[in-house]
Chain A
């Protein structure tokens, strides 16, 4: 049995508690509070203690999906990315870059937010970037 403890940050509210993920044989088994963390000092709330449960949820999306005739079907990454890139390109060509909006996320990392807004501003060419800070 291979048991590892991986430090992480709780992904619920904005408090930012330090957590430890308990990984046994490559499977996420539990969440523990980080004792030395400056924010939560070894305590967690009910959501934090159960952080691993949504990660392991069986209803997680496992494959890219494309909608055809009103139904989703599983597809490869190449198909999904190719379809999206083609559609975005033709919309930008026809209606201009400001006809596209990107909603970035308060659930993504800093790196991913940086890339997402860079994508909107450079690749699409629009400042229509926002997220749910207000909601």
Chain B
């Protein structure tokens, strides 16, 4: 997030696109409601009729994967009416002409034909967003999990820049992170192209810095992303995989493909709390300690680095992840001898400029938001106050043309399928489904179907539906609801016995390598008794 969570309350307009905030980030949704109480306008754009939409000043259900068109249409109206922030554009951005040229082609009528949203509503959204500043834009996986994920994100940034809503309190482009330490994992260099603090592996300066600090010459070749590892396993280029606290068998697109690929590995090592779907097929399993059984820091969506403390002893012979990695490293001949998580933190912060001013003592109970470059720095609630990160300090507009999702419904597979989370469960369900109170809320998987589609398919509530796509087939009980539009099915991702990723499309964004979980084409029929 460019801005902090608390600032959402200070916005005069909150635009939520591709995030089911009340179910997936309830304590951020609380800030949205607080903002609304203080008089902010609320705009919700989502292919499903989510709860937040009921409280919105305007809510639209645009067609799956049509986000770029919708956002371009909104910008078209803003430019046509001269509502853009001219001074901000002049002083702090470049490339505006390119944007204006592109969005000039996206008239509300044309956008309406792509998105299914009424032209009048597109104009109304533009008016609310442009004339109530500062406006905060919130999004989640509904924007990113597309083969055009990067285009979608750039379009969000275009809109915020156009109205001068970046580098201002209460504004911002705010992606809501789905896992407690996604932000931290990226910050710490858990990516194939960067060291901690986003220092490129192929930048000679950074490579030398880390080679020197760690005492070995490091590779400057960018590694595989998770989406590229699958074909690498299949073709025998990747022989061993060490999976820590992840369940790719259930979280990756195209389950069948991954399953076949992962079985070709010579060695699969899994470090986990539970015997997850992935751990079951491992050669070795390391039992890890949970959040209450170790200490360390997490960095949340708003870049706030916070400490968690040890409350109880690890269960059985489980060990904190850092101790396991240390043992393995020592056994492989590279000595590591950290006394505590704090010692690791100190080594990390010395090498990571955005964390350089942090220490366990300073973090206290509230934590600090990065960048925090010096021990006297108070942390940074919102970014780009003085300048943007590009060399000349200016933000750049990108003219983005709309592209269809990689797969659209056709005669053979006539329905859209989208996936996501529901309120009581979390990701692949390994943590929530073993929790009695959460399990009681939702025991098994289901598929959301609009009653009109159910009538066509002769399906009633609770019937087992067989869903198939070009990748595979699975079954789930039907849940009839008006939450989805006719022609669209929704599957939650938490349930291993009804795995949504059997069906989903492994097409991915060429830059971010994020798979298109949010759009695929399926057909459906009622399960017949044999």
Binds A, one of B20-28, B112-120, B446-454, B479-487: B20-28
Contact with B along A43-54 (1 / 0, CB 8 A): 111111111111
Q: Which residues of A contact B272 (CB under 8 A)?
A: 61
Q: Which residues of B contact A100 (CB under 8 A)?
A: 238-242
Contact with B along A112-135 (1 / 0, CB 8 A): 111111111111011111111111
Nearest CB in chain A: distance from B492 CB, A: 14
Shortest Cβ distance from A27 into B: residue: B312
Question: Is A122 in contact with B214, judged by CB distance below 8 angstroms?
Answer: yes
Is residue B178 within 8 Å, beta carbon to beta carbon, of the partner chain? Answer: yes
Complex CA distance for A9 and B180, rounded to whole angstroms: 9
Question: Is B321 in contact with A116, judged by CB distance below 8 angstroms?
Answer: yes
Is residue B85 within 8 Å, beta carbon to beta carbon, of the partner chain? Answer: no
Q: How many residues of B contact A (CB 8 A)?
A: 141
Binds A, one of B87-95, B388-396, B510-518: B510-518
Question: Is A8 in contact with B292, judged by CB distance below 8 angstroms?
Answer: yes
Point out the residue from B237, B283, B324, B513 that lies within 8 Å of A66, measured CB to CB: B283
Complex CA distance for A59 and B298, rounded to whole angstroms: 25
Question: Is B238 in contact with A115, judged by CB distance below 8 angstroms?
Answer: no
Per the 8 Å Cβ criterion, residues 395-453 of B in contact with A are 423-424, 426, 431-432, 434-438, 441
Complex CA distance for A82 and B210, rounded to whole angstroms: 28
Is residue B457 within 8 Å, beta carbon to beta carbon, of the partner chain? Answer: no
Question: Is A122 in contact with B334, judged by CB distance below 8 angstroms?
Answer: yes
Per the 8 Å Cβ criterion, residues 82-125 of A in contact with B are 82-85, 87-89, 91, 95, 97-123, 125
- Counting chain B CB atoms within 10 Å of each CB, the highest count among A47, A83, A132 belongs to A132
Is residue B81 within 8 Å, beta carbon to beta carbon, of the partner chain? Answer: no
Is residue A15 within 8 Å, beta carbon to beta carbon, of the partner chain? Answer: yes
Nearest CB in chain A: distance from B160 CB, A: 20
Q: Which residues of A contact B241 (CB under 8 A)?
A: 100-103
- 21 pairs across A/B with beta carbons < 8 Å? A9-B307, A13-B24, A13-B178, A14-B176, A28-B292, A45-B26, A47-B432, A54-B435, A98-B219, A98-B221, A101-B240, A102-B242, A103-B226, A105-B185, A109-B341, A110-B187, A121-B201, A125-B216, A125-B218, A127-B201, A134-B514
6 extra A-B contacts, CB within 8 A, seeds A84-B331, A110-B348, A130-B229: A11-B308, A60-B290, A99-B237, A128-B192, A128-B223, A133-B186
